[in-house]
Structure 1
Amino acid sequence: MDISIIIVNYNTKDLTKKCMESIFCSATNYQFEVILIDNASHDGSINLFRNFDFDIRLVENDRNLGFSKANNQGMRVARGRYILLLNSDTVVQPDTLDIMIQFMDDHPEVGASGCKVVLPDGTLDKACKRGFPTPSATFYYVSGLSRLFSHNPRINAYHCGDINEDQPSPIDCLVGAFMMVRREVIDEVGVLDEDFFMYGEDVDWCYRIQQAGWVNYYYPKTHIIHFKRASSQNKPYKITYEFHRAIYVLYNKHYKKQYPWWVNTLMYTGMGAKLAAALTLNTFSKITHKMKS
């Protein structure tokens, strides 16, 4: 088995179906398997995928375990020499698997790779090529300075502004929407950290992979389409909370010991203020929506 493609489904039946159909329509001679982990969906997903047109391995959870735990379930039964984490709201191109597997075969020093990720409007999903969220990179990003100096490698380190979106390049951080990882890497650094529920696990994994001496690589010779939902002011509280909790877990795990107390204090204060602002905005949006309806 060349590659095991792991998809986590949670109430995204139609998007997941479209994603898997794009995989099985791939023009590839490589052997692949699709492992679908369903996190207790209640939208009819199970009935659909139990009788799916193509051969898949379906794992049915009785509750929503989150992104990290579900992907780890898939990795533990995967047989491929490469593991591909693929979001359910993506569509691969016919050549995507061939190009990315061939690239990994030709570059044994690369531990994890990602292709170009494009939004439905044709623009780049900037999360597919990122630097690590160090305090300085985070400051420039949150302050808006990274947008003013978008091509400055220091100020726009968060989105690697000095790297053209069509330029293959080693990179700090890939995105979990499409992340191909070598089996030997997983054996060495381990699976996803399950302290992360649904955000931050890709950044943490990339950090550990790089720390172990492997290269993370952005390879935009092929692309996928990511039907990423635009930011909404009516996000569920749990999603908002988990996003900000992931920032805290990531900083605590990898950066706290590297910086003096005053930097840590500023970072933690900023995280708390951002969470409070997001929750307040959510509440206000819900009240406004109810008043209008």
Structure 2
Amino acid sequence: MSASLSVSVVVYHPVEKVLRDTLVSLRQAIRLALDIGVLAQARLILVDNGEVPGLFEPDDYFRIFGEDSDSIGMSCHSGHGNIGYGRGHNLALFETTCDHHLVLNPDVILEPDALVRALEFCASHPSVSLISPRSQTPDGSPEYLCKRYPALLDLLLRGFAPVWLKHFFSDRLARYEYRDETGQGDFFSPEIISGCFMFGRTDVFRALNGFSPRYFMYFEDFDLSLRAHRLGKLQHVPTVEVTHLGGKAAGKGWRHIWMFARSARVFYRIHGLKVW
């Protein structure tokens, strides 16, 4: 039986070319899934977290889907202001009636068969709650989206340490990021997956009440991942491939570092502090 899929993309003053490239790749992936027959219905939900009404014009991006707009439903939430990444996606999660849902960053490029592989895997593995893709950076280097439970030291090393110190702790960081498993293209069950591409059944997201509103940005995906384990295992699926154009909080200025630290504090208060 063919499935239905909704995709939510939360934007905040997006870079036009990057968002267009993401949506072009999404259109191609949806079209292939529809043509093959693993997908019967698709819906794109854009969520504009910008504070200035009218600055983001969703119709400019909906036109990317051209003739496919007849088979892909599209809608946009706007005017609510910057409510945060997780709460933005929740607007879509509690609106959709589709079987499956994809939480997608506006800077993730999907391979054409990414959705086909994700839908096929979910259909044959009902015990899996959420899946994470194999990701690379624009230069082709592997990106490690899966994580173990983060010790405070891991976060400081990964985000802020100089290169020589990261090299000294390279074995530790490799274990934290599942580098061996990811590099070998293994299927494995991580503790935590990234919210830049988080695919699963809609009833899983709803049973978890979506992302926690306690987080404005950062760690909302860590929190949801840990809660999702009670509904089924998380799975890294290397046949689902994407390219992620994003960067780390430390490279985005002091405001992002402050938001990262605030969310880390919330995360550890809820789930428990691990220092080393």
What range describes the TM-score normalised by the shorter chain of this pair? 0.7 to 0.9
Q: In the alignment, residue 253 of structure 1 is paired with which amino acid?
A: I
Is residue 239 of structure 2 the alignment partner of residue 215 of structure 1? no
Find the counterpart in structure 2 of residue 193 from structure 1: 212
Shift of 1:48: 4.5
Change (3 A) 1:224 1:51: closer
Shift of 1:183: 2.2
Is residue 50 of structure 2 the alignment partner of residue 45 of structure 1? no
RMSD: 2.7
Deviations 1:185-214 (A, max 9, x none): 22332210111111100010001111x151
Find the partner of 1:34 among 18, 26, 44: 44
Find the partner of 1:132 among 122, 144, 149: 149
Give the secondary-structure state (helix, strand or coil) at the position aligned to 2:175.
coil
Q: Quick one: distance in 1 between partners of 2:243 and 2:119?
A: 18
Shift of 1:229: 3.7
Number of aligned residues: 254
Find the partner of 1:91 among 109, 113, 129: 109
Q: In the alignment, residue 192 of structure 2 is paired with which amino acid?
A: C
Find the counterpart in structure 2 of residue 122 from structure 1: 140
Quick check: 2:93–2:202 contact (8 Å CA) kept in 1?
A: no
Is residue 260 of structure 2 the alignment partner of residue 250 of structure 1? no
Give the secondary-structure state (helix, strand or coil) at the position aligned to 1:120.
coil
Change (3 A) 1:193 1:181: same
- Identical-residue share of aligned pairs (%): 22
Q: Quick one: distance in 2 between partners of 1:74 and 1:59?
A: 8
Q: Quick one: distance in 2 between partners of 1:121 and 1:17?
A: 19
Shift of 1:230: 6.3
Q: Quick one: distance in 2 between partners of 1:164 and 1:47?
A: 36
Q: Quick one: distance in 2 between partners of 1:138 and 1:156?
A: 13
Deviations 1:106-156 (A, max 9, x none): 101100001111110101222x12111135755876878774464x5x774
Quick check: 2:24–2:64 contact (8 Å CA) kept in 1?
A: no
Shift of 1:231: 6.4
Find the counterpart in structure 2 of residue 273 from structure 1: none
Q: Quick one: distance in 2 between partners of 1:190 and 1:62?
A: 20
Find the counterpart in structure 2 of residue 288 from structure 1: none
Q: Quick one: distance in 1 between partners of 2:122 and 2:5?
A: 11
Q: Name which structure has the greater RCO, CA cutoff 8 Å, separation 6+.
A: 2
Q: Quick one: distance in 2 between partners of 1:105 and 1:51?
A: 29
If the length of structure 1 is used for normalisation, what is the TM-score? 0.77
Q: Quick one: distance in 1 between partners of 2:62 and 2:228?
A: 37
Give the secondary-structure state (helix, strand or coil) at the position aligned to 1:174.
coil
Is residue 170 of structure 2 the alignment partner of residue 168 of structure 1? no
Structure 1 unaligned runs (5+)? 268-293
Q: Quick one: distance in 2 between partners of 1:139 and 1:38?
A: 31
Q: In the alignment, residue 182 of structure 1 is paired with which amino acid?
A: R
Quick check: 1:147–1:156 contact (8 Å CA) kept in 2?
A: no
Moved over 6 A (4+): 142-146
Shift of 1:222: 2.7
Find the counterpart in structure 2 of residue 20 from structure 1: 23
Q: Quick one: distance in 1 between partners of 2:254 and 2:165?
A: 29
Quick check: 2:20–2:61 contact (8 Å CA) kept in 1?
A: no
Q: Quick one: distance in 2 between partners of 1:177 and 1:215?
A: 19
Q: Quick one: distance in 1 between partners of 2:166 and 2:233?
A: 25
Quick check: 1:129–1:218 contact (8 Å CA) kept in 2?
A: yes
For 1:103-122, list aligned pairs within 5 A: 103-122=121-140
